[in-house]
Amino acid sequence: MKRSERGAWPYLFLTPAIVLFTLFLAVPIGYTVWLAMRRTKVSGLGLGRGARKEVFVGFDNFSAALSDPELWHGWLRVLGYGALVLVVMLGLALLFALLLDSARVRLARFSRIAIFLPYAVPGVAATLLWGFLYLPSLSPIRDVLDIDFLGASTVTYSMANVAVWGGTGFNMLVLYTTLRAIPRDLYEAARLDGASELQIALRVKIPILTPAIILTTVFSIIATIQVFTEPTTLRPLTNTISSTWSPLMKVYRDAFVTGDLYSAAATSIVIAAISLVLSFGFLRVVRNHAFGES
Amino acid sequence: MATTHRATAARRPWGVAPTGLLLLGAIYCLFPVLWVLIAATKSPGELFTTSTLAFGTGFADNVTQLFAYRDGVFWLWAANTLLYAGGGALLSTAVSAISGYALAKFRFPGRNLIFKLLIGGILVPAVVLAIPQYLLFSKVGLADTYWAVLLPQILHPYSIYLARIYATAAIPDSLLEAGRIDGATEWRLMYRVAVPLMVPGMVTIFLFQFVAIWNNFLLPFIMLGDDGKFPLTVGLYTLLAAGANQPSLYNLILTGALLSIVPLIALFLTMQRYWKTDLSSGAVK
């Protein structure tokens, strides 16, 4: 890298990104915070000019969002759903990546492509496919298994299945590409020392994969907290999913159905804050753990 | 790669289990796609009467009906999706590439701050942005327009991050220096030297953005009211919402779902090799 300055050129090259960042990221965030601290006050009967006023209410909307039982139920549902998706999806992604890399498998190319394929299926289409597969009248699965996939106690698992189906391949590919970048002689050395394939996987490959696993976990945490497409798409097929099933669905309802933008803004900031806390919390735990080992 | 005898010996205790597990995974992933392929060939009558895994005779009828549905609105959805995904991904790739190049190859005051701010965008959930973006677009009269879906998806922090890593690795400083000595302007160096060297990385960024925008549901769902501007995802959702209680529409919904995933699967299979570019290189380094 050159130490000397190139005048305004780097700034010029960065102008589009900075303008877009300001317009579509910074300004909307600022606006959300501003909205979240306000509320409409109705005086008298709420008729006539000036009867409805927007006033500053500080953190009232946040405390309302934090104490709303409906929202808490949403958080609990998403927590259960998210934990299930994270463990199963990333577990399978890791397993498949290690199997693909072990060079002992046949049909590796076919399996890799097949498992990555759902990544090309939009969430709406994926939910639609599985939703129809869950319907008793159409499903070949229901021919074999007599399970009500859309019942109140099973719908979370059915939804998690859609997310696992759609996300495993992408995460597998991230982990697999990382594995392919490891010099092969590292394994040869381990083999000469008498390590078995399983030992190599556990003691050599997984430690090298750790940063990539952390990255995919953080992205998956952020994605599952914001789950919206799957429950929204599955809703028309069953009456077990409420319009406030996930926190983001409640934000949507508040903002666009009920028309309460202030609550919606406050709730979306709470969602953002929880995503950040969970992501950073996870990173911290992982780091401490890694330090503890070394 | 040399396969040693030792390695062959190590294979035995595991046998065909690894291959079997991978194939199970492959079947699980392919099954719904194969099923919709079959289901879309059935006429409404066949859908509920014939065996779930037997091909039907109604595929051509289903497609004709789907394209006739509400004066061919499905065509519009497909064209819109192509516009959003193609246009958005192109612009996004261009912005990411020049930003990544500037961040990788220049040293200037504020470089780290700008990089950190841009990257911080990865952590901001789409939901925080969606409502105010909608309101701001409404204020300037752009809500429910193509711009409302296109513009917010151009800036993609992770792509800038990838472009920066790629530019650092792919563009030798000596080449830029040689160009400068020859009197080339920075603009010329960017599009004659840097961009051509970054093409493989840019193809990866384009593909990921294309798929991401194609699959996006939340943003167009919030921004658009007029179904003539819907992309396929929102269109499919409205089709499902309208037809969930009318089994007579099921064949249209299934055919629509199939047609909305075929182009992406085709793109995905033809561009196989580009998906390998190290997605996680940043995590390893």
Cβ atoms of residues B99 and B163 within 8 Å: yes
What pLDDT sits at residue A25? 94
Which of B27, B123, B134 minimises the CB distance to A279? B123
State the ipTM, two decimals: 0.88
Instruction: Per residue of chain A (294 residues), give pLDDT as tens.
Output: 444 456 889 999 999 999 999 999 999 999 999 999 999 887 766 666 666 788 898 899 999 999 999 999 999 999 999 999 999 999 999 999 999 988 678 888 899 999 999 999 999 999 999 999 998 877 777 777 778 888 888 999 999 999 999 999 999 998 998 888 888 888 888 888 888 888 888 888 999 899 889 989 988 998 899 899 999 999 999 989 999 999 999 999 999 999 899 999 999 999 999 888 988 888 888 877 765 544
Q: Contact B135/B227 with Cβ under 8 angstroms?
A: no
CB B85 within 8 A of CB B213: yes
Quick one: average pLDDT of B162-174?
92
**In angstroms, rounded to a whole number, what is the distance separating the alpha carbons of residues B159 and B279?**
10
The structure's pTM equals 0.88
Cβ contact, residue pair A272, B133, below 8 Å: no
Residue B85 at interface with chain A, using a CB cutoff of 8 Å: no
How far is B249 from A119, CA to CA, in rounded Å?
Answer: 27
Mean pLDDT on B97-102 = 96
Q: How many Cβ atoms sit within 10 Å of the Cβ of residue A114? A: 21
Which residues in chain A have Cβ-Cβ distances shorter than 8 Å to B154? 20
Query: Residue A49: what pLDDT?
Result: 65
Question: Could you tell me which residues come within 8 angstroms of residue A14 by beta carbon, excluding any fewer than 6 positions away?
Answer: B98, B99, B102, B103, B114
Q: Computed over its alpha carbons, how large is the radius of gyration of chain B?
A: 24
Task: Answer yes or no: do B268 and A119 touch at CB < 8 A.
Answer: yes
Torsion of CA B188, B190, B196, B197, to 10 degrees: 130
Residue B9 is predicted with a pLDDT of 46
Q: Provide the pLDDT confidence category of residue B87 given band limits of 50, 70 and 90.
A: very high
B52 and A126 within 8 Å at the Cβ level: the answer is no
A29-43 in b/e form (b: 16+ CB < 10 A) is bebbeebbbbbeeee
State the smallest CA–CA distance between residue B23 and chain A in angstroms: 6
Residue B158, min C-alpha distance to chain A (Å): 11
B217 confidence band (pLDDT: 50, 70, 90): very high
pLDDT at position B102 is 96
Residue B129 has its nearest CB partner, among A28, A104, A191, at: A28
**Which of A17, A139, A265 has its CB closest to that of B131?**
A265
Size of interface A-B (CB pairs under 8 A): 304
- A16: which chain B residues are within 8 Å (Cβ-Cβ)? 94-95, 98-99
Record the tokens describing residue B253, joined without a space: 């919904």
List beta partners, residue A41.
A53
Task: Please calculate the CA angle B218-B219-B224 and round it to the nearest 5 degrees.
Answer: 110
Gap between the Cα atoms of A18 and B67, Å rounded: 42
Tell whether B95 lies on the interface with A, counting CB pairs under 8 A.
yes
Cα separation, B42 vs B55, in Å, equals: 7
CB contact (8 A) between residue A5 and residue B52: no
Q: Do A21 and B118 touch (CB under 8 A)?
A: yes
Q: Which of B21, B80, B240 to mutate to test the interface with A (most CBs of A within 10 A)?
A: B240
| C-alpha–C-alpha distance, residues B165 and B73, integer Å | 42
Cβ contact B108–A6 (<8 Å): yes
B269 pLDDT band (50/70/90 cuts)? confident
